[in-house]
Amino acid sequence: MKSIELTGKTIDEAVEQALINLGVPINQAEVEILEEPVKGILGFIGTKPAKVRVSVIENVEHKAINFLNNIAGTMSLDLDIKTSEKKDFLNINLEGADLGILIGRRGETLDALQFLVNLSANKNQPNRKKIILDIEGYRNRRTETLYKLATKLANKAKQRGRSVVLEPMSSQERRIIHTALQGRDDIYTFSEGDDPYRKIVISPKKNSQ
C-alpha cells in the first residue's frame, strides 16, 4: 500500500499536502496521525508541527489501473484508462496508439490480459468485482461480427441439411454464438472438444428441413 509521511502547521494542512502528493481524494485514503501539533512559547518558540501518515486505499479499481499502467510502461505504451462500475462489475476501456498488440488474434491477448487483471486487482479484496476489459470498443465490434457469422453459418447448415463446425473459440465467444442463435427453432447449437480447442457445432433440426 502506497503511503507518505508529511508534517504541517496543522493536521488538515499535512493531510491536504499528502493527498496532493499521492494524487488521490480523501475517500481513497487512510489517515494516521503520528504527532499532534504543539504551540511553543509566545506562539513560535518550540513549536512542534503536526505529522501524519496518509496511505492509499487500494480498492479493485485502483489496483487494476496500477496493473495496467505497469504493463503499458513495460511495453512503452501510452494508455488512456476509462472506468465505470455497475453493481459487481468494473468496466475498463483502454484507448491509445498502437494498442492492437494488446488485442491479439481474435482478442486472445485481450482475454489473457483481462484474466490477469482480474487476478491481480481482486487479490485480498473483501469486495471482489468482475472486471471486463476492452480496448477502444473492440468487444462490441467483435460481438457484432460473431452475430453476423452465427446467422450466416446457421442459414448454411439449414440449407445444406448438415452440421457446420466452427473454429475453436474462447468460452466468451462461444457464449456469444449460442446467444445469437438461441431464439431460432430451425437449428440448435452445442459445443464439443476440450479447451483451448473447444468449438461450436451448428446443426439443423430434422423437422425444419
E strands, 36-126, are 50-56, 80-86, 89-95
- Please state, for a pLDDT cut of 90, what percent of the chain lies above it: 57
- Whole-prediction pTM value? 0.69
Q: Using CA atoms, how far apart are residues 189 and 203, in angstroms rounded to an integer? A: 6
Q: Which of 31, 56, 81 represents a domain boundary (last residue)?
A: 56
Residues 194, 154 share a domain: yes
pLDDT tens track for 64-119: 998 999 999 999 999 899 999 888 899 999 999 889 999 998 888 999 999 999 99
Residues 197, 185 share a domain: yes
pLDDT tens track for 139-148: 999 999 999 9
What local confidence, expressed as pLDDT, does residue 57 receive? 81
Task: Give the CATH number, domain containing residue 37.
Answer: 3.30.30
Residues 97, 69 share a domain: yes
Three-class SS state of 109 = helix
| Res. 58: pLDDT tops 90 | no
Q: Report the interhelical angle of 138-160 vs 171-181 (nearest 10°).
A: 60
Domain membership of residue 184 as a residue range? 140-208
Task: Give the CATH number, domain containing residue 99.
Answer: 3.30.300.20
- For cell 507518505, what's the residue? 4
